[in-house]
Amino acid sequence: MTTNAQLLFNQIPKGEPTPETFKYNTENKIDLEQKLDNGAHIVKIICVSLDPYMRGRMRPAEVKSYSPAFELHKPLTGHGVGVVIRAAADSQYKVGDHVYGMVPYQQFVLIPGQQKVDEESKKFLGPQVGLRVIKNEEGLPWSAYIGAAGMPGKTAFMAWKEIADAKKGEVAFISAGSGPVGQMAIQLAKADGLKVISSAGSDEKVAFLKELGADVAFNCKLQSTSHKTDDAKKIFAEHGPIDVNWVNVGGKSFEEELEFMNMHGRLIGGWISAYNGESYGVRNLFQFVAKRLMMRGFIVGDFEASLAVLQQNINAKYVDDFYATIPKKLAFGDLKFKECKYDGLESAPKAFLEMLAGKQSGGFGKVFIQVAADDSH
């Protein structure tokens, strides 16, 4: 038997998660030599993603949302990349295949051929039911496939195409621009000929936003009368109005942004400012009427593809386009991406807390956990 360390969901947090929200369990074992049949296979996990939406899954099971709650005392689940190290003769995968999809956060995963997925998970995972083989002809680090070439990159790519209705010369505002969604959104907006204003929470992050092509970048943590140069209102007044608002942060800053939206503006996004608690009550929603604004909810899972989804007529129109274009652009440097690596599942509690707070000790960018070496087979 081999140790199969896991990251367990240990406690439902009240407000901000704490180290006790998680438990690193080294007592779990797996028989890597076991007989496999009925299409089963064993995947060795290489890297897993830590994403803000996972905070929403740390809730009591009876509270419903678009994503299923984590099960207490079971491994967290999320996007990961692994390599198939054993496969039954009738498995759809072969040894050496690298696969991407939703996985439990542990070192090895035994996947039965007929993967059982409950109805709620199906709604959330949609197309992600089952793992996608990634050929990686581009030679990207595997972590890229859970970041810029994975779920967050797809979020930016698909929501931009589906909702932004971007026109050359317009102005986009992208908050939390140094995160994986923000990074991609900035570059897509620039590629479409928009002027980009972006914000992030430190001067280093702001410098990176400029490297990505943002025309105007400011430190959102310096918004006070004593830091007039980074006052968002002044920046929007000078460089706006905003036609496309990529609302990553939301909350009180959203209220400010609404004042500076252009007529017929479009809004896309997340609401990370409320993930640990109550949402700020935005007071100027009448701006939607006055300026004929359009904001549309978007969940990336609705747009990812698989045969199952296509059969259900769910919209999968962007996926082939994404995989055909984005990994190559990342590999050639036509699109930049920055990652923030933490080593080993035991580092995940610290990494998750730092990611949510925007205070990653290992740099910034897409936060992920390297579970095993990239070249492991």
Ligand X SMILES: NC(=O)c1ccc[n+]([C@@H]2O[C@H](COP(=O)([O-])OP(=O)(O)OC[C@H]3O[C@@H](n4cnc5c(N)ncnc54)[C@H](OP(=O)(O)O)[C@@H]3O)[C@@H](O)[C@H]2O)c1
Window 51 to 90, contacts with ligand X (CB under 6 A): 51-53
Site pattern 316..355 for ligand X (x: CB under 6 A): ---------------------------------------x
Distance CA 362, CA 364 (A): 7
Q: Is 178 in the site for ligand X (CB under 6 A)?
A: yes
Looking at the Cβ atoms of 6 and 153, the one nearer to ligand X is: 153
CB of 321 to ligand X, least distance (A): 17
**Per-position DSSP letters for 271-328, written without gaps between them:** -GGGTTSPPP--S-THHHHHTT-EE----GGGG---HHHHHTT---TTHHHHHHHHHH
The DSSP letter of residue 20 is: G
**Among 212, 231, 236, residue whose Cα is nearest residue 221:** 231
The count of residues interacting with ligand X (CB under 6 A) is 26
- Interface with ligand X, residue 248, by CB under 6 A: yes
| Adjacent-strand bridge partners of 369 | 48, 342
280: left (phi over 0), alpha (psi -120 to 50) or beta: beta
Q: Using the rule CB under 6 A, is 257 a contact of ligand X?
A: no
- One symbol per residue from 210 to 239: x for binding ligand X (CB under 6 A), - otherwise; what is it? ----------x-------------------
**Selected binder of ligand X within 299, 308, 310, 331 (CB under 6 A):** 299
Cα dihedral value 128, 312, 322, 131, nearest 10:
20
Q: Is residue 143 a contact residue for ligand X (CB under 6 A)?
A: no
State which residue has the least CB distance to ligand X. Answer: 179
Alpha-carbon distance 19 to 353, whole Å? 8
In sequence order, the β-bridge partners of residue 25 are 6
Contact, 128 vs 102, CB < 8 A?
yes
Q: Residue 187 interacts with ligand X (CB under 6 A)?
A: no
Nearer to ligand X, 299 or 314 (CB): 299
CB of 154 to ligand X, least distance (A): 8
Q: Which residues bind ligand X (CB under 6 A)?
A: 51-53, 152, 155, 176, 178-182, 200-201, 205, 220, 248-249, 270, 272-273, 298-300, 355-356, 358
